Structure 1
Amino acid sequence: MSAQTWSIAELAAEYDVTLRTIRFYEDRGLLTPERRGTVRVYHPRDRVRLALILRGKRLGFSLDEIAKIVDMYDAEPGEEGQLEYLLDQIAHRRAELEQRRRDIEETLQDLAEVEARCQADLTALRSRQRASS
């Protein structure tokens, strides 16, 4: 019994990406479909790798980082090393995002302060204009 396979169009539809996106990942060496003439045949390994690539992109990892993570599964140090590396990358990514959140909160606070001062200045200006009219 042979394993299930998918065409490029089937994978694109399933993961809501373009054919060009899948071909790009193939060009980068992230996917390695079987070739039957001019037809690409994707196996379960390709399907899993595509899911991992897309998840990595959603989490903000670069394609180089994603490639390193998914390639580690098949090479030394294997799954354990892959998981350790991924945990390290998650910690770094989380720290970056937490810093961005702090920066955004600080910026929002600064904007609120400037807005309040502008509103107060505008109110005072309009009061003076009414008083002088």
Structure 2
Amino acid sequence: MSQQTYSISELASELEVTTRTIRFYEEQGMLAPTRRGQERIYSPKDRVTLKLILRGKRIGFSLAECKTLIELYDPGAGNRKQLQSLLDMIAERRLQLEQQLMDIRQIQLELDTAEERCLKALQATADQPE
């Protein structure tokens, strides 16, 4: 029984990314398709790896973090190490987001203050006779 394989265009279409994106991850050593002449042949493992990369990027993990998680994948060991690393990375990402939220709130307050001052200054100039 032969194993399901995918062309680069099939993967790109299914996962809604460009073929250039897939080639980029291949250049980074994260995907390793076999070759049939010039044609790239992707395995189910490559497909899962690409899905994990895209999911990791979507939640804000760096490419290096995605690569680390993928390298830790070990179904024989029940993936404990991978899962624990993922939990640690999630906790760290949450802290980063919390800090970004605080920074955004602070910037919003500063913008409110600047806007208020501008409106008062504009009103003061409107009250002056020309």
The two structures share one fold, judged by TM-score above 0.5: yes
User: Which residue in the other structure is 1:91 paired with?
Assistant: 91
Please list every run of 5 or more consecutive structure 1 residues that lacks an aligned counterpart in the other structure. Answer: none
What per-residue deviation string (whole Å, max 9, x for no partner) do you get for residues 23-53 of structure 1?
1211211111122232211111111100111
Number of positions where the alignment pairs a residue of Structure 1 with one of Structure 2: 130
1:25 aligned partner: 25
Larger Rg computed on CA atoms: 1
Measured on the aligned residues, the alpha-carbon RMSD in Å equals: 1.8
CA distance in 1, matches of 2:77, 2:94: 24
Distance in 1, matches of 2:20 and 2:102, equals 37
- Secondary structure of 2:35's aligned partner: strand
Q: Structure 2, unaligned stretches of length 5 or more?
A: none
- In the superposition, the TM-score normalised over structure 2's length comes to 0.90
* Correspondence for 1:115: 115
- Structure 1 stretches of at least 4 aligned residues deviating more than 3 Å after TM superposition: 74-78
Distance 2:128 2:39 in 1: 77
What residue is the counterpart of 1:71 in the other structure?
A: 71
CA distance in 2, matches of 1:101, 1:128: 41
TM-score (norm 1): 0.88
